């Protein structure tokens, strides 16, 4: 346990170092030193880069936390926060705002879309007060496909708004401001609240029947985890659009490093997910013409997913 505690401390120090390094890096080449009397440098650092850096850190941490929960709930290391149609609902909400409201309140509708999609899946999956995990998964896939079909129709009729919708779907922090950071700060207490369910998640790994006999309220656990993880994912999507693979890769890697104990796995994944998305966004904004960060995460995440599939196939 001492080694795990030391690992968490090192991860925290890595988070602090990553924030300093990524804030100092940028196409304008503005360093931390020599800021005195340089108003332009101050604006670049504290009004442009720093809120973007913090937002990327928060979104990455939130997606990783939701990924831990989804993988624990479905007992499947290939589950991720977007499994229940959450991302499709958020993308549809943002597209509606872009097409019909000229982009106004897009983050509000994106968040509302995430929550609505999750509750729709929950309502359809519910059977007499129970939520079968398999039914939840299949319903999530079906609802996601249906919402994606509506989104495709909107994109087909979007006209000049099509480019803006595409950018949203690829994910990014182009227009991030301090307002987004204040919203994103809600991710921290929501993610940390999941630690309250660490013991239950550890027991749940043995299966629903064993968890029930060990005193775990199975249905309450499912509802609570779905609600909190959907709230976190909704905030992340509302701030940055659809960014894949963070919630898939990070929990899996941390599980390999420190084991499956959710008391340690959850905070470790949050910090590692924040670091991963932070450096992905730094790479995206410094690679010549800025590219969507979702492209960067997919570039590294897709091969990882394929390797994970091959490993499971061999097992």
SS3 85: coil
Considering only residues 1 and 293, tell me which one the structure prediction assigns the higher pLDDT. 293
Percent of the chain with pLDDT over 70: 93
**How far from each other are the two terminal CA atoms of the chain, in whole angstroms?**
29
pTM attached to this predicted model? 0.90
**What pLDDT, in 10s, does the model give residues 158-187?**
888 888 888 888 888 988 889 999 999 999
pLDDT of res. 34? 47
**What pLDDT, in 10s, does the model give residues 105-117?**
888 888 889 888 8
pLDDT of res. 149? 93
- Dihedral angle sign, alpha carbons of residues 196, 197, 203, 206: negative
How would you class 207 by CB atoms within 10 Å of its CB: exposed for 0-12, middle for 13-18, buried for 19 or more? exposed
Q: How far apart are CA 90 and CA 277, in angstroms?
A: 19
pLDDT of res. 30? 59
Contact yes or no for 271/65 (Cβ under 8 A): no
CATH number of the domain to which 29 belongs: 1.10.3470.10
Q: Highest mean pLDDT: which of 33-42, 83-92, 189-198?
A: 189-198
**What pLDDT, in 10s, does the model give residues 245-291?**
899 889 988 998 898 999 999 999 999 999 999 999 999 988 767 88
**What pLDDT, in 10s, does the model give residues 22-40?**
988 877 665 554 444 467 7
Domain that holds residue 206: 2-314
238 pLDDT higher than 60: yes
Number of domains in the chain: 1
Mean pLDDT rounded to a whole number for the chain: 86
Contact yes or no for 133/204 (Cβ under 8 A): no
């Amino acid at each position: 346990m001492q080694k795990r505690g030391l690992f968490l401390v090192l991860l925290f120090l890595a988070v602090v170092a990553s924030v300093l390094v990524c804030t100092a890096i940028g196409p304008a080449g503005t360093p931390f030193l020599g800021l005195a009397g340089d108003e332009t440098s101050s604006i670049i650092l504290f009004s442009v880069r720093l809120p973007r850096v913090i937002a990327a850190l928060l979104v990455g941490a939130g997606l990783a936390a939701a990924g831990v929960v989804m993988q624990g709930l479905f007992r499947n290391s290939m589950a991720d926060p977007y499994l229940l149609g959450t991302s499709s609902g958020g993308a549809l909400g943002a597209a509606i705002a872009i097409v019909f409201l000229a982009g106004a309140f897009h983050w509000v509708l994106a968040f509302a879309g995430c929550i609505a999609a999750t509750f729709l899946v929950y309502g359809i999956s519910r059977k007499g007060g129970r939520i079968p995990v398999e039914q939840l998964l299949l319903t999530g896939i079906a609802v996601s496909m249906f919402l994606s079909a509506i989104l495709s129709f909107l994109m087909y009729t979007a006209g000049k708004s099509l480019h803006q919708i595409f950018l949203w779907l690829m994910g990014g922090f182009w227009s991030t401001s301090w307002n987004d950071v204040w919203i994103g700060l809600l991710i921290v207490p929501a993610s940390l609240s999941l630690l309250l369910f660490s013991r239950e998640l550890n027991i749940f790994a043995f299966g629903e029947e064993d968890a029930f006999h060990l005193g775990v309220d199975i249905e309450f656990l499912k509802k609570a985890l779905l609600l909190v993880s959907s709230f976190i994912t909704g905030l992340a999507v509302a701030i940055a659009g659809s960014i894949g693979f963070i919630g898939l890769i990070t929990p899996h890697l941390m599980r390999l490093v420190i084991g499956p104990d959710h008391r340690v796995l959850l905070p470790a994944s949050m910090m590692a997910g924040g670091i991963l998305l932070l450096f992905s966004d730094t790479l995206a904004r410094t690679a010549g013409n800025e590219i969507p960060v979702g492209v960067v995460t997919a570039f590294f995440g897709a091969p990882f997913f394929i390797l994970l599939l091959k490993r499971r196939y061999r097992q």
